[in-house]
Structure 1
Amino acid sequence: MTATITGEPGEYWLTVGDERTTVTIDDGAGDGGRAAATLSVRVPAETSDSFAVDVRGGPVGRLE
């Protein structure tokens, strides 16, 4: 699965199921405030035409 993160420049985390990754939106890199993250999604062996995927994310906090 590929997810597109849209936001202000900075570092963001994204979790799908048990897999977590971070992406960085660069300042002025011409990316339009977007970054892409690719994560694996487990498809249940016994599924109908659809299944639910839990996706969570947000900015990475920094302590100063």
Structure 2
Amino acid sequence: SETDRRSLKVLGLATDVDRRALRERYAELVRRYHPDRNGGDRSFESKLQEVIGAYTQLKGAPAFA
């Protein structure tokens, strides 16, 4: 779906990604944008929320369920 494609783009993944790669990329981006990893800097908070939303969308998608 278009929503899935947008979510993949947020995560920087191709459409043929598997469940394991999806989880790995999600974990990588959460580590990168989490305020605790950035000295409490909350400037990446909106990006973190975008990543979480994209992962939540994709993990429930039929291709990854």
Q: Which has the higher strand share?
A: 1
Q: Which has the higher helix share?
A: 2
Normalized against structure 1, the TM-score is what?
0.29
Task: Say which one has the larger Rg.
Answer: 1
Normalized against structure 2, the TM-score is what?
0.29
